[in-house]
A and B are shown apart, each in its own frame.
Chain A
Amino acid sequence: MNENMEKAQAVDYSYIYNPKKAVPGYAGITAFCLVFFLIYRIFSHNVYSVFMTYLFAWPLVLGLVPALILLILKTKNQVAYYGHIPSRGCLNLYRSGIAILTMSSLLKGVFEIAGTGSAFQLVMWPAGAFFLVAGIIDFFLAD
């Protein structure tokens, strides 16, 4: 157990990030994406897009699964993983990345099904990736 871990255990950081609260949140968003796809499919004349079909994968893989893992790793009433403490900024960046990528996937799916595209949607991929990676870097660099 390194110094950071010891510091984390000394303070309750659950007001910043509590996996117990995050899990149902991400589960809800994942379910919403799945339902959105199923409803949209009814009106899309069997034209489909993988970006719409697997829309739910973004919050599932990037949100729900990590939250479940962190829930397992969580020390009692405290948040400290591998000696790092997720800051509010780190969480904001990471969640923003998931939101941008999910929205980008939704728009891409709608546009593909309609048979068109948009340059404004394309820039959302690198923007989402930037936020996501920045959040991860912030998590590991934060002391």
Chain B
Amino acid sequence: MNSKKKKIKLYPIIFSIILLGYSLFTVLDTFVIAHDTVKLSEVTSTDSASTGITTTASTTGSNSSDTSLTASTDSATSSDSTGTSSDSSTASDATVTDSTYEADGVKITITTKVVDNTTVYIADIYLDDPSKLLSGLANDTLGRNVSDTTSNIASDVGAILAINGDYYGFRDTGYCMRNGYLYRSTKTSDDQEDLVVYSDGTMAIINEGDVTAEELQSAGATQIYSFGPALVNNGKISVSENEEISGKSMTSNPRTAIGMVSTGHYVMVVSDGRTSESEGLSLYELAEVMQDAGCTVAYNLDGGGSSTMVFNGTVINKPTTNGNRISERAVSDIIYIAQ
């Protein structure tokens, strides 16, 4: 009888250990353990003769398509894979102030204003060569749970101006293409809106249910960001006044957005939030800011604690981490202007 009782009590103990162990592993796998990693420099190669990059794309997981793309993003590999900054002589040719940058083919003006009790940083960007609009990656690596601060990534790639991207590495779904390399072609849902940047510098909003990532790649896409929603499309605000991310987020938040006025003319916006000084914007208020800036296409990127803008090596906004503490959060990727 005693031995029977001892055996009976073993089950809940063993089961509890297995359940807690499995749950702990799931949490670590989701938030900590880096996996599905691809070193971008190993899958892209510079074609100096054509001043373009030839990218052999192979996607992860269930996506096993092997496609070749020659994109006319000549400076796509200007982000040195070893993490070194770009040539400082280029920077020395530029005229730089606290809020402006002007060099051959690049003109950036940053204005700061208060909108709806929120500090908003608006970067107005003119590029003669639209391929200078690029993605930067933490440790030059695509992968889940590979992250670094926006300012560190910006420093690694020698960015003039950078904002945080869509934090693709925090999710397992959603199209993901960076600098011509298609990393993920698993759709989140048919309704998921993505921002596509084509090799000629144009931006467009697509629904993942309408087109595959491979088709976008064939059409000349060099970047696909999957966060959203679209803020402005065809010059009109495309979010409702009460719309929020999956209907779950608070209305006032730090936000990050990117938009296009016309080919070669872009707008990057970051707003502070969750502090007494800066309340934060709703998606609709952010859309209004983008529309006022002249955007015909604008897209919401990862916000909250991720929202960061770096200009000339300095974080110019007040990013919040773990509540309202002013500190930069590590992210998977950035969008930046190359020198």
Contact = CB atoms under 8 A, between A and B. Distances in A.
A83 B129 CA distance: 81
A62 B4 CA distance: 28
B171 A115 contact: yes
Given A49-B248, A96-B15, A116 B171 contact: yes
A118 B15 contact: no
B8 interface: yes
B6 to A, nearest CB: 13
A45 interface: yes
Given A45-B250, A107-B27, A88 B8 contact: yes
A105 to B, nearest CB: 11
Interface string A83-113: 0000010001001100110010001001111
Contact of A119 (B25, B172, B253): B172
Interface in A116-134: 116-121, 124
Interface residues of A, number: 27
A54 interface: no
A45 B172 contact: no
Contact of A43 (B15, B171, B172, B323): B323
B29 interface: yes
Interface in A19-72: 43, 45-49
A115 B172 contact: no
A92 B15 contact: yes
B274 interface: yes
Contacts of A48: 248
B226 to A, nearest CB: 12
Contacts of B23: 103, 107
22 contacts: A43-B323, A45-B253, A45-B304, A46-B249, A46-B250, A47-B248, A47-B249, A92-B11, A92-B15, A95-B12, A99-B16, A99-B19, A100-B19, A103-B19, A107-B23, A107-B26, A115-B170, A115-B171, A118-B30, A119-B172, A121-B30, A124-B22
A121 B304 contact: no
Nearest to B188: A117
A122 to B, nearest CB: 10
Contacts of B250: 45-47
A24 B29 CA distance: 35
A120 B248 contact: no
The 7 closest A-B pairs by CB, nearest first: A46-B250, A120-B26, A118-B30, A116-B170, A92-B11, A47-B249, A47-B248
Interface of A: 43, 45-49, 88, 92, 95-96, 99-100, 103, 107, 110-121, 124
Most A Cβ at <10 Å: residue of B15, B19, B26, B249: B26
Instruction: Please indicate which of the listed interface residues A45, A95, A100, A119 has the most CB atoms of chain B within 10 Å of its own CB.
Output: A45
Interface string B56-92: 0000000000000000000000000000000000000
A111 B30 contact: yes
Contacts of B172: 116-119
A116 B19 contact: no
B15 A120 contact: no
A30 B272 CA distance: 38
B71 to A, nearest CB: 30
B19 A112 contact: no
A117 B26 contact: no
Contacts of A112: 248
B44 to A, nearest CB: 27
B30 A116 contact: yes
Contacts of B323: 43, 45
A58 B19 CA distance: 16
Interface string B195-228: 0000000000000000000000000000000000
B22 A120 contact: yes
B166 to A, nearest CB: 11
Contacts of B253: 45
Given A47-B250, A88-B8, A112-B248, A120 B25 contact: yes
